[in-house]
Amino acid sequence: MAIEFECDSCGSNARYVGRPAVYALDGIEFLCEPVTAYSRPAWCYKCNTLVDAEQLMGANFYAQQLDAFRRSGLSEHDREFIALTNRAEPQYRKSISDAWKIVLSAARVRLSKPRCFTCGSIEISYIPEYDLESHDILSFPHPNCSGSFVRVANSFINIALLYLDGEGRRKIATEHLKD
Ligand SMILES: [Zn+2]
Ligand SMILES: [Zn+2]
């Protein structure tokens, strides 16, 4: 979904689009939950507009997820995925826990700050009024302007999946997808 904003002072427009993104890391066999790149709305000073930007979860998050996956049974989603990909359950469990291990290793060695999904810049600041619960933004200050961006409309658009490396840089799509 896209959210359209208009500045109440200068009249300029901005649009927030939540971009689906994954970390396409070596050794990960297929797209699965562990590789999801989390994001949140931010102002990018290079793009000079509202963007979707990486939200780094940190190594502890991935360690906990791996631990939880090892302890838990398979979810409904996992079972659907197994059916969809024709995999045996043990093979599926191994693939997913290997994927968690790979993203955990990448998180441990991550050097870069979170990046703008559009241009890769780290010169971003998250929109402070972003409400994590509702995923709604109502208004936020327009940087370098006296006004505020006010939400004026919602719209629906289709947007392609982004593939990122371990430092959050965009990769060419599909090069690491073997399935
Ligand atoms: Zn303005
Ligand atoms: Zn940018």
Domain count, the chain: 2
pLDDT-above-70 percentage for the chain: 89
- Going from the Cα of 100 to the center of ligand 2, the distance in angstroms, rounded, reads 28
Q: 115-146 pLDDT, tens per residue?
A: 999 999 999 999 876 665 566 667 889 998 99
- Going from the Cα of 10 to the center of ligand 1, the distance in angstroms, rounded, reads 4
* Per-residue pLDDT band at 178 (split at 50, 70, 90): very low
Strands (E), the chain: 2-7, 13-17, 21-23, 39-44, 49-54, 124-126, 139-141, 148-155, 162-164
Locus of tokens 């979810």: 75
Contact between 51 and 120 under an 8 Å Cβ cutoff? The reply is no
104 and 121: one domain? no
Domain holding 68, by residue range, is 58-109
Radius of gyration of the CA atoms of the chain, in A: 18
65 and 135: one domain? no
- Going from the Cα of 141 to the center of ligand 1, the distance in angstroms, rounded, reads 8
> What CA–CA distance (Å, rounded) separates 56 from 37?
8
pTM recorded for the entire structure: 0.82
Q: 73-131 pLDDT, tens per residue?
A: 788 888 887 888 777 888 888 888 899 999 999 999 999 999 999 999 999 999 876 66
119 and 175: one domain? yes
- Going from the Cα of 97 to the center of ligand 1, the distance in angstroms, rounded, reads 47
Q: In sequence order, what are the residues at sequence separation of 6 or more whose Cβ sits closer than 8 angstroms to the Cβ of residue 56?
A: 38, 107, 110, 113, 114
Q: Is the pLDDT of residue 176 over 70?
A: no
- Going from the Cα of 6 to the center of ligand 1, the distance in angstroms, rounded, reads 8
146 and 169: one domain? yes
- Going from the Cα of 40 to the center of ligand 1, the distance in angstroms, rounded, reads 21
- Going from the Cα of 43 to the center of ligand 1, the distance in angstroms, rounded, reads 13
> What CA–CA distance (Å, rounded) separates 107 from 60?
9
Q: Which two tokens stand for residue 101?
A: 């291990």
* Per-residue pLDDT band at 30 (split at 50, 70, 90): low
Residue 86 pLDDT: 79
